[in-house]
C-alpha cells in the first residue's frame, strides 16, 4: 500500500514538473519573441509538448479531486498562455 502511494506521488510530481516546465518555456518564448524567431518557435514547441504530456493525466484514477482541480487550472492557464503566444507570433517577414 505504501509503495502505491509513493508511485502516485512520483507520478504527480512528474506531471507537475511537466506543467511547470511548460510555463518556463512560455516565459522564455515571451522573452525572445521579437529577437529570435527560431528560439521562440522552439520554446513554444517545447511548451506544447509539456502541455500534451500533462493533459492526459487529468483523468488519471490516482489523482484526488483537489489534485485534479489544481492540475486542470494549471493546464488551462498553460493552454491560455500558449494561445496568446500564437496570436502574437511574428510573421516570417517581420523576424528577418
CA distances from 17 to 1, 25, 63 (A): 24, 12, 15
Taking the domains of the chain in order of start, what are their residue ranges? 2-90
Full-model pTM: 0.82
pLDDT at 6: 60
> pLDDT at position 96, please?
42
Q: Could you read off the pLDDT tens digit of each residue along the chain, which spans 96 residues?
A: 455 656 666 688 899 999 999 999 999 999 998 899 999 999 999 999 999 999 999 888 888 899 999 999 999 999 999 999 988 765 554 444
CA nearest 22: which of 56, 49, 58, 40? 49
Q: What pLDDT sits at residue 95?
A: 45
Amino acid at each position: 500500500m505504501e509503495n502505491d502511494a509513493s508511485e502516485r506521488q512520483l507520478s504527480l510530481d512528474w506531471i507537475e514538473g511537466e506543467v511547470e516546465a511548460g510555463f518556463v518555456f512560455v516565459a522564455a518564448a515571451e522573452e525572445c519573441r521579437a529577437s529570435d524567431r527560431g528560439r521562440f518557435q522552439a520554446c513554444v514547441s517545447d511548451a506544447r509538448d509539456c502541455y500534451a504530456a500533462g493533459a492526459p493525466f487529468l483523468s488519471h484514477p490516482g489523482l484526488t479531486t483537489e489534485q485534479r482541480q489544481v492540475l486542470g487550472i494549471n493546464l488551462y492557464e498553460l493552454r491560455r498562455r500558449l494561445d496568446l503566444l500564437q496570436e502574437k507570433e511574428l510573421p516570417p517577414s517581420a523576424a528577418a
